[in-house]
Amino acid sequence: MRRVGIIALALVVNACVASAPVASERPASMATPDGTVSPSAFEGYVDPPVWGGWLNGWAVDKAALRGPGIDSVRLYLDGPAGPLLGAAVYGDPSPDVAAYFGDQRFAAARWHFDWQTAGGLPVGQHTVVVLAHSIGGATHVWAWPIGDHPYGDIGAPLEGAGVKGQFTIRGWGLDAGRVSDPGVDVVTISLQRTTPASYIVVRGETLFDLANRFYQSDLEWPGISATSDLSGPSLVHAGDVITLRPAVGPHVLGQASLGDDGSGLVKIFAEPLFATAGWHYDWNTSTVLPGDYKIRALIRARLSERVLEVQRAVTVLPSQ
pLDDT: which is higher, 171 or 56? 171
**CA dist list (Å): 82 to 24, 74, 316:** 35, 12, 47
Calpha distance 98→101 (Å, rounded): 5
13 pLDDT tier (thresholds 50, 70, 90): very low
Residue 292, strand partner residues: 315
What mean pLDDT is predicted for residues 90-94?
93
Torsion from C-alpha of 130, 131, 134, 139, nearest 10 degrees: 140
Quick count: other Cβ atoms within 10 Å of Cβ 11?
A: 14
Global pTM value: 0.54
pLDDT of residue 221: 53
Calpha distance 47→59 (Å, rounded): 12
